[in-house]
Amino acid sequence: MADYQVSRRSFLQGTALAVGASVLGIPQSLPAADEDPYGGFRMGLQSYSLRAFKLDEALQHTRTLGVGYWEAYPGHIRLNTLPAHISEHKAKLKEAGVSLIAYGVLGFDENETKAREAFDFAQAMELKSISANPKKSAATFDLLDKLVEEYGIPIAIHNHGPGHIYDKVDDVLEMVKDRHPKIGACVDTGHYIRSDEDPVEVIEKLGPRVFGVHLKDAKTIRDPEEIERLSKELPKNRANQLKREGKIFTILGEGELNVVGCLRALRELQYDNCLSLEYEENADNPLSDIEVCLKTVRESVTKV
């Protein structure tokens, strides 16, 4: 991984998680009811951050990290509306002390049967939103208008950076204009940085249509020699991204994201959905990096 991540990681990874949680500063359990290190935000994880772990282990790690909310990706909890499947996974979540309040990212098109399955699943799992990548068509959004009204569950359009259909905030705003108030956005802050947009301004522009947040950081690398050096150290997909865009994902607080500004903008909106940390790097051993990210959130929320 890149050198700018080494100083913190080398310290944090020096002790095994099982015996070293106190050294790492990782809470042994979730905060007591009268303690709230995240200032009222429903701090959680996009479970993709723990994609290298199977469900039970990922839930255990979430508990150890001291957060109690998830936006699950389908690799951890498959979209299935069978009652036994729903009951099994709700029981696992309850046992782990983790509340599942968002899910995705799911594609949507004009297929109503497929879309209803997603909404039936969301209703059965008692979700607050579905992160989505809907087709840009009037028929798709007509269907979503109908389903969000019927189910009362918001659709949160996820931006995915340069080259994707929801690259800029205007791509989202164009599609949600004059649509049902429960059709809005999941703001991925890292991808908006990749798209040369200010995530704070994005949140302000979307206003009450913000139904999800993937809290992620990125930084710009301008020096050609550094780009070349990092490209040799990074996985192929990240090296290609760096060469194309001059940007790379990094630990929260070590990039260009104005974390305090984002939290302040969300607080002004009285945002009450999952604040999902999504850390995509170092997939096989992400826990120490995730704790540094969470520490950044805890420190930032005191300044909001």
Half-sphere exposure of 266 (CA within 13 A, CB side): 32
What does the alpha-carbon distance between residue 83 and residue 85 come to, in Å, rounded to a whole number? Answer: 5
Range(s) of the domain holding residue 220: 41-301
**What percent of the chain clears pLDDT 90, i.e. is strictly above it?**
80
pLDDT of residue 176: 98
pLDDT of residue 222: 87
Q: Quick one: average pLDDT of 179-183?
A: 98
Residue 22 lies in a domain: no
Domain count, the chain: 1
Is residue 92 over pLDDT 70? yes
Residue 36 lies in a domain: no
Q: Quick one: average pLDDT of 224-252?
A: 89
Residue 33 lies in a domain: no
pLDDT of residue 146: 98
User: Residue 121 class from Cβ within 10 Å (0-12 exposed, 13-18 middle, 19+ buried)?
Assistant: buried
Q: What is the mean pLDDT of the chain?
A: 90
Is residue 101 over pLDDT 50? yes
Residue 57 lies in a domain: yes
Residue 193 lies in a domain: yes
What does the alpha-carbon distance between residue 2 and residue 24 come to, in Å, rounded to a whole number? Answer: 21
Structure confidence at residue 30 as a pLDDT band (50, 70, 90): very low
DSSP 8-state symbol, 280 = -
What does the alpha-carbon distance between residue 220 and residue 253 come to, in Å, rounded to a whole number? Answer: 13
Instruction: For residue 143, give the CATH number of its domain.
Output: 3.20.20.150
Structure confidence at residue 35 as a pLDDT band (50, 70, 90): confident
Residue 235 lies in a domain: yes
Residue 191 lies in a domain: yes
Residue 194 lies in a domain: yes
